[in-house]
Structure 1
Amino acid sequence: MNSATPGRRTQVQSRRSQVEPRRTQVERRNESEEALLDAAADLVAERGVEGASLARIGSRAGTSRGLPNHYFGSKDELVARLAQRAQNHIDDAMVAAATRDGRRVADTPGIDLLRTTVDTYVERFENPTSADRALIVMWGATFPTEASVRGMTDADRRSRDGWAMLIEQGQRDGSVRADLDPATGAILLQGLVRGLAASLLVDADLIDTSQAREACQVWITSIFASPRPSDPSST
């Protein structure tokens, strides 16, 4: 016979509820979605986009096999969310690096933001997480002519728009060349970081990453920075 009376059980449950507040339905859903996205990142990094089925993602996350479809509606939508989450993590790291000295992003010269963002990308791929690896794998999945990864295509477009906005900010504050087309510059920067990231994923010992990061800074300055006014005293 259970020695705990109903009154006793009620008191225990009450104390537990005070110590551990009940999570809301939204919090539970968010936690489930994060677990599914973590599982998706692991599988995409291991097996590629084609090998990461919704059923496998649900199984890896320890949920029902049908839950990913219930939450995301389609694999394409899940890929889009996964790509956006990975990009958000990189953006957060860039903001943290850019504001380390107390400046606001809005007050930081655009050329400095370009340097910081590129350096943040390269630094992450020195020791990439599954989410970082998955981002490059998903990008590569758009190469085949029969591929249908609309979500990644949309994420690519948002990424290019982000680069272009940094270039435009630099042109407004005078730190980036005014004659540079932002859309063209965005493609060049995206190609730089993704090509270097993909190379590091294939062979982490291919190059000295500290030298590569320094070379990126020099390249960005030479291509994007506004020319300094000549010193009148030197003429």
Structure 2
Amino acid sequence: MTTARRTQQERRDQAESALLTAAAELVVEQGVRALTLANVGERAGYSRGIVTHHFGAKQALVERLARATQAGFVPGLEDLPPGLDRLLRLIDGYLGELARIGVFNQAFLLLWAEAATQPELAAIFRERDAAFRADLSDDVEAGIADGIVDPAVSPAQTAVAVVGQLRGIALQRLLDPQSVDTGQLRHTVTGYWDRALRR
């Protein structure tokens, strides 16, 4: 019996996935300073040369890790049109995902917090946060256009407040999991935004 050989692209994708997983684990276990190309390669079972081949430098590795860890945090939103329903589902889904927060999401939060004092991280996370806020602002604007959201609401300010609240809850959950009841918060926080925004 023969097994099909993996293509070069499949081998490349597998190596990149293993390297990003190793990088996320290192950030969670030892902090951002432990994130060196050599440490990532050793952790993943590859040489530093492979890490350099895939990412070039630590900055590119961190940027790729930031993108990988934030992508698809709340599944099932891709097909929903912008509007209040999508915004509320995002809030509810985000808090629901915190109940089973994985290593990639933990790494993202730690990198995000570290970006406040690390200039090389700041640009990456400013870009990611700007995209997140733009999506939320689009939802509020669509809700206003649909006549569902109060037209006096500022889409930009609402987006800043929602991101701040979700990330703040996530960091508290990471710091002290027992004190953050994500099941109860899903109801409380989603209900708050529904009442605050609805016309």
- TM-score, normalised with respect to structure 2: 0.90
Cross-structure match for 1:7:
none
CA distance in 2, matches of 1:148, 1:207: 31
Q: 2:88 is matched by which residue type in structure 1? A: R
**1:191 CA drift (Å):** 0.4
CA spacing shift, 1:66–1:174, aligned 2, 3 Å: farther
Q: Among 57, 60, 73, which residue is 2:40 paired with? A: 57
1:212 to 2:197 alignment = no
1:105 to 2:48 alignment = no
Cross-structure match for 1:189:
162
CA distance in 1, matches of 2:66, 2:72: 10
Q: 1:71 is matched by which residue type in structure 2? A: H
Which of the pair has the greater relative contact order for Cα pairs under 8 Å at 6+ separation? 2
CA RMSD of superposed structures (Å):
1.9
Contact residue 172 and residue 180 of structure 2 kept, 8 A: no
Question: For each residue in 1:121-174, what CA deviation from the matched residue of structure 2 results, as whole angstroms up to 9, or x when unmatched?
Answer: 111211211001011101101112x53213233222222222222223323323
Alignment partner of 1:90: what SS?
Answer: coil
Q: 2:120 is matched by which residue type in structure 1? A: S
Q: 1:148 is matched by which residue type in structure 2? A: E
**1:200 CA drift (Å):** 0.8
Question: For each residue in 1:83-106, what CA deviation from the matched residue of structure 2 results, as whole angstroms up to 9, or x when unmatched?
Answer: 222222214x1428xxxxxxx412
CA spacing shift, 1:48–1:22, aligned 2, 3 Å: same
Cross-structure match for 1:68:
51
Q: Among 13, 23, 39, which residue is 2:6 paired with? A: 23
Q: Among 15, 19, 38, which residue is 1:32 paired with? A: 15
Structure 1: runs of 5 or more not aligned: 1-14, 97-103, 228-235
Structure 2: runs of 5 or more not aligned: none
CA distance in 2, matches of 1:202, 1:173: 39
**1:209 CA drift (Å):** 2.3
Equivalent runs, 1:3-152 vs 2, <5 Å: 15-16=1-2, 20-91=3-74, 93-95=75-77, 104-106=79-81, 110-144=83-117, 146-149=118-121, 150-152=123-125
Contact residue 136 and residue 197 of structure 1 kept, 8 A: yes
CA distance in 2, matches of 1:25, 1:127: 34
Q: 2:119 is matched by which residue type in structure 1? A: A
Task: Give the structure with the higher percent helix.
Answer: 2
- TM-score, normalised with respect to structure 1: 0.77
CA distance in 2, matches of 1:31, 1:175: 45
CA distance in 2, matches of 1:80, 1:213: 30
Moved more, 61-70 or 129-138: 61-70
Q: Among 173, 176, 182, which residue is 1:203 paired with? A: 176
Contact residue 111 and residue 175 of structure 1 kept, 8 A: yes
CA distance in 1, matches of 2:56, 2:141: 36
Larger radius of gyration: 1
Q: How many pairs are equivalent?
A: 198
CA spacing shift, 1:159–1:68, aligned 2, 3 Å: farther
